[in-house]
């Protein structure tokens, strides 16, 4: 089976999340289930990029959720973003990303990173 490499970009304003993933404190990452991310599978590699820095992580498990509500039924907000503690804060976080309100109509991809 051919393994693929995907690029995940983070905005400078989200550098803390980038660093939490790099340091292993955050092991669950979500992305809108757009065509770009729907194909990510267990065993693939993601290259995370933020402000000129990058690192690689192996994808363990991948889940697809239909909505933010479905993600929050399975995961506490802190697992998605250590700064969020309530469902409301988590929703506000997702909606703060440019174009995300429209993109997440396709659902979300939940990546477990090793």
Is pLDDT of 1 > 70?
Answer: no
Helices (H), 31-86: 35-38, 68-74, 77-80
Structural domains of the chain, count: 1
Ramachandran area for residue 107 (φ above 0: left; ψ -120 to 50: alpha; else beta): left
Q: What is the pLDDT of residues 36-95, one digit of tens each?
A: 999 999 999 999 999 999 999 999 999 999 999 999 999 999 999 988 999 999 999 999
Q: Which helix (H) or strand (E) holds 90?
A: helix 87-96
Q: Which helix (H) or strand (E) holds 93?
A: helix 87-96
Range of 35's domain?
5-113
Is pLDDT of 2 > 90?
Answer: no
**CATH number of residue 74's parent domain:** 2.30.130.30
């Amino acid at each position: 089976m051919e393994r693929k490499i995907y690029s995940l970009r983070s905005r400078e304003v989200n550098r803390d999340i980038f660093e939490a993933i790099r340091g292993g404190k955050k092991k669950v990452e979500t992305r809108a289930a757009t065509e770009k991310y729907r194909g990510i599978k267990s065993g693939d590699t993601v290259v995370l990029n933020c402000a000129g820095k990058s690192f690689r992580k192996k994808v363990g498990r991948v889940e697809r959720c239909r909505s933010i509500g479905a993600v929050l039924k399975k995961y506490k907000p802190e697992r998605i973003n250590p700064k969020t503690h309530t469902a409301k804060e988590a929703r506000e976080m997702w909606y703060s990303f440019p174009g995300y309100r429209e993109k997440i109509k396709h659902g979300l991809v939940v990546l477990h990173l090793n």
